């Protein structure tokens, strides 16, 4: 767990112990400030090597998107989605705009250049660091609301993914945190995955040694969850 900032290490340890014992499918993702390993470094700006004429799917997120701790960048969820698109004939380029340590405010600050180009879908995976640091859910809601609003103004379809906060901040905080995602999905009438790590969180065999970031097997489960919500948003292959 060396990738965690000191102020949240203790919180994550406590949260992890509680979740492993009591609530296996609800956990806080550690999305620490250290950059991903070289082999999993995310594209923090749109990749100019991709075909600019092809529509893009941008994953705006933290280290869960970047693929922290995975041996190869091809094992990260956005890369797995690209592979599935290619295999099924969909003509989209996937951009991994995941940055380790990013809060919702960080995602908002780099939104404009993250959605440059012919972006058709924006997958928003942010908030875990807000929860780890105990930041006000109201501030997270404002940030995510602006991300969604700006994307929609550019006629970009938004797929929002939810996250859970550590339980050690108290039941009131975790409930308010969780509700932010539901409220935004309802308010903006956008596709919504309630929990990005569904079926993976709290299961040791599906996470790397820190017990928080998915390993390659866990990433494939997340990919399947995201694909189920993403595919209906895409133009069918010709």
Q: How many domains does the chain have?
A: 1
User: Residues of the chain with pLDDT > 70: what percent?
Assistant: 78
Active site residues: 63, 210, 213
Range of the domain at 34: 6-233
CATH classification at residue 177 = 3.40.50.1110
Residue 129 covered by a domain: yes
Query: Which pLDDT value is given to residue 141?
Result: 98
Distance CA 112, CA 124 (A): 14
In tens digits, what is the pLDDT along the chain, a chain of 238 residues?
A: 333 333 333 334 334 333 332 232 233 334 443 333 323 334 445 443 445 679 999 999 999 999 999 999 999 999 999 999 999 999 999 999 999 999 999 999 999 999 999 999 999 999 999 999 999 999 999 999 999 999 999 999 999 999 999 999 999 999 999 999 999 999 999 999 999 999 999 999 999 999 999 999 999 999 999 999 999 999 988 7
Count other Cβ atoms within 10 Å, centred on residue 25: 14
What single DSSP character describes residue 87?
A: H
Residue 130 covered by a domain: yes
Count other Cβ atoms within 10 Å, centred on residue 124: 26
Residue 1 covered by a domain: no
Residue 238 covered by a domain: no
Distance CA 215, CA 68 (A): 9
216-230 and 77-88 helices, crossing angle to 10°: 60
């Amino acid at each position: 767990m060396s990738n965690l900032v000191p102020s949240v290490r203790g919180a994550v340890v406590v949260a992890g112990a509680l979740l492993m014992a009591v609530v296996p499918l609800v956990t806080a993702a550690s999305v620490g400030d250290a950059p991903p390993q070289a082999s999993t470094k995310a594209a923090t700006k749109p990749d100019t090597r991709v075909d600019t004429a092809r529509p893009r799917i941008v994953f705006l997120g933290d280290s869960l998107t970047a693929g922290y701790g995975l041996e190869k960048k091809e094992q990260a969820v956005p890369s797995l989605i690209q592979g599935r698109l290619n295999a099924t004939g969909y003509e989209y380029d996937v951009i991994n705009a995941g940055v380790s340590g990013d809060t919702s405010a960080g995602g908002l600050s780099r939104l404009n250049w993250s959605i440059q180009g012919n972006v058709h879908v924006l997958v928003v995976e942010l908030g875990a660091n807000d929860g780890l640091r105990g930041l006000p859910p109201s501030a997270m809601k404002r940030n995510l609301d602006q991300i969604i609003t700006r994307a929609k103004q550019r006629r970009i379809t938004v797929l929002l993914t939810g996250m859970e906060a550590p339980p050690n901040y108290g039941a009131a905080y975790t409930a308010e945190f969780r509700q932010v995602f539901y409220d935004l999905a309802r308010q903006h009438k956008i596709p919504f995955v309630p929990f990005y790590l569904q079926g993976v969180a709290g299961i040791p065999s599906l996470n790397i040694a820190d017990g928080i970031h998915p390993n390659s097997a866990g990433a494939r489960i997340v990919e399947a969850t995201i694909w189920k919500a993403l595919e209906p948003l895409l133009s069918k292959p010709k």
